Amino acid sequence: MPLVFIQYILSLISGSLVGFSLGLIGGGGSILAIPLLLYFVGYDHPHIAIGTTALAVGINAYLNLIPHALHHNVVISKGIYFTLPGIVGVIAGTELGLLTPGKSLLFFFAILMIGIALLMIFRTRERKGPRTVKPPDVNRAGTNIPVVLVTGVAVGFASGYFGIGGGFLIVPGLLFSTDLPIIQAIGTSLMSVGTFGIVTAIRYAIAGKLNVIISVLFVLGGIGGGWIGTRISSRLPRRTLTYVFAVIIILVAIYMMVVNISYVI
């Protein structure tokens, strides 16, 4: 069913909210893209929502990769080690995702949302207190290649199955399997986020489950929302914002679980 004009406007607003959250707290916004498209825009087709937001997430990641690369925060070699095997996981994940009934997939996605919200809180608590920032050094040794490959496949699978960029999984994965400092792990992760999102979107497009117009509106809205969020973030306590945002994610996830639980049990 084609979307009416008001739903295009709501899609633009949704993209702004996603970009706003990314600019405000530096992550987490993409996890809300699917519920926004489903319950705010009213686009009641889970698989098309997943394919559409995957494309928007992929494009946004590549756009954000550029400034990180210009600031030398992207280590291409390690990004390739993580991304290439991850594509295998993405392909397997998308195939399984397309085979999973849409409402059931949303229920499982809600569980992932709660896990990511808790991870956000945990990471924020870890950053409490003074921090020592290490200067970037792309020539440091110590990367465990087998661990990078396995982690890449696992994260790629989750990304493909749920149609998310997986940044909150990729950054810890890179920190766990390589010796990258946090700023380079974030920058390098965008290689994987963008690639995983685009590969997922291509597979969903082949299955006829993607709306390019909505993806573009999400990206356009995200640009403006991200700018506003970034401006505000410097004036408000990041830890408090993260806690509030994590609670919002958990509440939305609980709602999704309640709405879709009958399709699982």
- pLDDT tens-digit readout, 208-242: 999 999 999 999 998 888 888 877 876 777 788 78
* Alpha-carbon span 93 to 55, nearest angstrom: 16
Predicted confidence (pLDDT) per residue in 179-216, tens digit: 888 888 888 988 998 999 999 999 999 999 999 999 99
Please state the rounded mean pLDDT for residues 6-15: 92
Is 191 within 8 Å of 79 (Cβ atoms)? yes
Query: What pLDDT, on the 0 to 100 scale, is given for residue 11?
Result: 93
Task: Supply the angle between the helices 182-206 and 46-70 in degrees, to the nearest 10.
Answer: 140
Rounded to whole angstroms, the Cα distance separating 197 from 40 reads 22
57 backbone φψ class: left, alpha, beta (φ>0; ψ -120 to 50): alpha
- pTM value is 0.84
What lies within 8 Å, CB to CB, of 117 at 6+ separation is 28, 246, 247, 249, 250, 253
* Residue 132 confidence (pLDDT) above 60: no
More confident residue, 88 or 187: 88
Sort 150 into a burial class: Cβ within 10 Å, 0-12 / 13-18 / 19+: middle
Average of per-residue pLDDT across 50-68:
89
Q: Which pLDDT band holds residue 137 (cuts at 50, 70, 90)? A: very low
What is the b/e burial string over 205-233, where b = at least 16 CB atoms within 10 angstroms of the residue's CB?
Answer: beeebbbeebbbbbbbbbeebbeebeeeb
Residues 6+ apart with CB under 8 A from 43: 3, 7, 37, 49, 52, 211, 214
- Structure token pair of residue 45: 């087709």
Q: Can you give the pLDDT at residue 197? A: 92
